[in-house]
Structure 1
């Protein structure tokens, strides 16, 4: 698979569904998903008594591959990687199925081992989150892959020979699970997990991959009226899973199918998946269940890209890379977005030292907030603040949690106290009054710094801050070359500084050549 900007297709032949996804990649804009089409195939339900994929199952597979091939031909995508997982991997007639599929469709299918499937999921997680030590669980229709990683390095992996569809087939006779069936399913899953010694009591966050995990995250967002857009890196607690389990037990199958957040085609398999996740949390002794939107398909793409451009995929630069990709989509240069960040940092540090600004709960948010400040201007100049807040609260930014993304949005959209109050109003249950003030003050400080950077040039080289006896703060900007425009803007915007420190601010611009003389 090449690493240029050409589109690349992944056909993911799973036990529950067959999915076609088309990606492209560039260092500036990152991995972009252009097309995502799923068909519910339930191939694992077509394994017969002899352990073979039935003729009907083979027909469903080939029919879907031919449909996807027609689509790819229509959009002129020729770089295709087809991967098959548990349903075909565990079929006794696996080789025949692969040969027949290639014969009738011309598509060569790569059969992934359980270990490969687990690895690709892990790879996607470490490159799209800032979780350094954790446990992944990727529950498909016919298998469940788990890994454990420390400092983003994989330590263990395993593939269990059960998934949401196969558990339903094994334990549930009707459309809804009975109490006895549920108890038997739980006992079976617990026995499987307990048979893997390295899994016990890891006390690490669980990162869940796959459609069932996504649906549970969506259900939880609906039940909590979660106000922020975005599902990647959404976190549930062990008690959340227990509460959902209790609620599902009260629902009929018909009610489950209509439940907000739950896909209709997963209504019959969501309970086996939920109980598996819940038991997994108990065995691992974890309190955090985090959904990762990035999984097998992204892992496959990443494996190819990393081989070709390793410097683009440093696991400890997840957020830095994600911000670069956001900026790239708006045609903003990463380095230019950081112009005067050093000046901002000097003032911020001095304000903290003097007690005018309290440190943020996470100071790592300062850099991305500075880079994304007023990014909405790229869409509409007159409504840049509203556009900025909307963009960031509706973006997925790898390595940044939903709550931190909200904080970045509040800082980066800062215009004045009035708009800040308007934006934060629906989220006061998330952000405390004290932190709200901190975010507002940081936004005001960035507003000043970004505001004096009118043309993106670099006359300001350093800044010195002094307190005077007259209860004022003097800013001395050391500049080179022409600086009249910056000086005019600074005078116009200094009110934002005065609201932070609650005293008079005086500004002075000094040519560095005059100092040297």
Structure 2
């Protein structure tokens, strides 16, 4: 086992995380801390780091050093970005950190910063073609990704802190100041990222500003999930939020729902930079990433040190969803043979009953996630573990799914012991799915229930299920080895016949064929 500490010192904030890598190569976040340090405050006038920010950063780093000793961290990877990179006294500051704390920090280039941010996104969001931005205090990294590969990447020297200072946007702003700032930002884009104009691709945003915009959107729409990663802000709602931000003063911004008070003075500049980028690229929606540079640092280290399934080594995960579920399974003691049998039979039922349930290829993937994790709730309590599994799946760090897709996978698992109105009412997020979504969830959860019932004894007595599906009925022919006692599996599976007829509109007949 090893613990890897990652420090990301930016222009506005400093972040510290500790990732644990177990002996079986599974990994999880063990600790994290973030502080606003404002290193870049006033740098546009002085060219130097903010003195108070320097002292705040050092105080944080002393704490992080102690935490690494207490947690027995075996490796520390520390990076600094735009403020330390651009300040005339940046190099001296990095040397002072080494002398006072013993922590060696690498000042990375804008291109390297963009690449690490890209690794954080490409390994946690399942999009193939997109424009990505990572907005910090002193720069914005903009990248073009085609077929999951980065093809263009530029660090533009405009950030939420420096633009706030340059145009005096911290408190009340005038229309003239907004107009000058928008024109300045657009000129920077025209000069430095001409390849991004009019791409009309999805836009994925990283950084504290876009995360705050997501929280504001969630508060305004009464969104029930308190998750940011892979949250989508529609362009229309973003423009409404943008308009309200630029028309407000600091005092009123501090009262806006979802907006952190420590970012209220920077949000105007940040919103202008993002809105201008959306207009410039023709992006329609913003996909918000909670993962960025620090996650990219970890994925680069982990991928090159340990690799991902089938011996693949490299910083980019081949299949985000599959790797994420696999890693989660390895992080706890699971009956893997049972889970593999349930998964295989559930997907077999899905494929053979496609005409009746009408599910898509994506629905098949969600069923697979539910099958792998349907028993995860047993770590809470065996009783009602299906409901606990649903909660865990809905909130676990599973990547490669949209938020509502993750909910659907959670609900599929939640009903794998049968569907009841009592359980339905217990789901806090049930109203987030449409009636059509629920219809699919109920039908797919029955396939999972039948697959699990077939292995109720964990002996693997059902080796294969052949399906005959016509207008009159669905017949399941169960196949296993001669001489095995299949009575428990058959009894358990038949308990779902009534529910099957209700959801699929035709009777379910279960037969046994040996050999």
Q: TM-score, normalised by structure 1?
A: 0.90
Alignment equivalent of 1:225, drawn from 204, 222, 241: 222
- Answering whether residue 168 of structure 2 is matched by residue 206 of structure 1, we say no
1:258-297 matches, cutoff 5 A: 258-297=255-294
Aligned to 1:515: none
Say which SS state the counterpart of residue 141 (structure 1) adopts.
coil
Following superposition, the deviation at residue 234 of structure 1 comes to: 0.3
In structure 2, C-alpha distance between the alignment counterparts of 1:365 and 1:487, rounded to whole Å: 26
Aligned to 2:63: 67
1:112-511 matches, cutoff 5 A: 112-172=108-168, 175-195=171-191, 196-312=193-309, 315-332=317-334, 336-353=338-355, 356-360=356-360, 362-363=362-363, 364-414=365-415, 415-419=418-422, 421-422=424-425, 427-428=430-431, 430-466=432-468, 471-480=472-481, 481-482=483-484, 483-511=486-514
Map Cα deviations across residues 366-418 of structure 1 (whole Å, 9 max, x no partner).
21122222532332122223322322222342111011111112211112142
Following superposition, the deviation at residue 28 of structure 1 comes to: 6.0
Distance of aligned partners of 1:204 and 1:423 in 2 relative to their CA distance in 1, 3 Å threshold: farther
Say which SS state the counterpart of residue 315 (structure 1) adopts.
coil
Map Cα deviations across residues 181-239 of structure 1 (whole Å, 9 max, x no partner).
21111111111112221111121111111111111111111111012232100011221
Aligned to 1:84: 80
- Answering whether residue 4 of structure 2 is matched by residue 8 of structure 1, we say yes
In structure 1, C-alpha distance between the alignment counterparts of 2:224 and 2:339, rounded to whole Å: 29
In structure 2, C-alpha distance between the alignment counterparts of 1:236 and 1:466, rounded to whole Å: 44
Distance of aligned partners of 1:27 and 1:335 in 2 relative to their CA distance in 1, 3 Å threshold: farther
In structure 2, C-alpha distance between the alignment counterparts of 1:214 and 1:106, rounded to whole Å: 32
Map Cα deviations across residues 316-370 of structure 1 (whole Å, 9 max, x no partner).
31001111233334422555423143333333333333xx322248332221122
In structure 2, C-alpha distance between the alignment counterparts of 1:467 and 1:305, rounded to whole Å: 46
- Check the 8 A contact 2:6/2:18 in 1, yes or no: yes
The unaligned stretches of length 5 or more in structure 2 are 310-314
Following superposition, the deviation at residue 423 of structure 1 comes to: 5.6
Say which SS state the counterpart of residue 184 (structure 2) adopts.
helix
Say which SS state the counterpart of residue 73 (structure 2) adopts.
coil
The unaligned stretches of length 5 or more in structure 1 are 513-517
Say which SS state the counterpart of residue 308 (structure 2) adopts.
helix
Say which SS state the counterpart of residue 281 (structure 1) adopts.
helix
